[in-house]
Amino acid sequence: MFSSPATDLSIHYSLLPPSSKILRPEYICASKKCKVSFIIRKGCKEDVPQMFRLVQELALFERAPEAVVNTERIMEQDGFGDNAIYKVFVAEDAATNQIVGMALYYTAYSTWKGKLLFLDDLIVTEKYRQFGIGRKLMNEFLKEAQRLGVNQVRWQVLDWNTPAIRFYESLKAELDREWITCKMSKQEIADYIKTINH
Amino acid at 76: E
The DSSP letter of residue 172 is T
C-alpha 170/C-alpha 30 separation (Å) is: 23
Q: Which listed residue (13, 27, 128, 168) is catalytic?
A: 168
Whether 168 is catalytic is yes
Buried b (16+ CB within 10 A) or exposed e, 46-60: ebbebbbebbebbee
Q: Which of 8, 16, 55 is nearest to 36 (CA)?
A: 8
Q: Which residues are catalytic?
A: 168
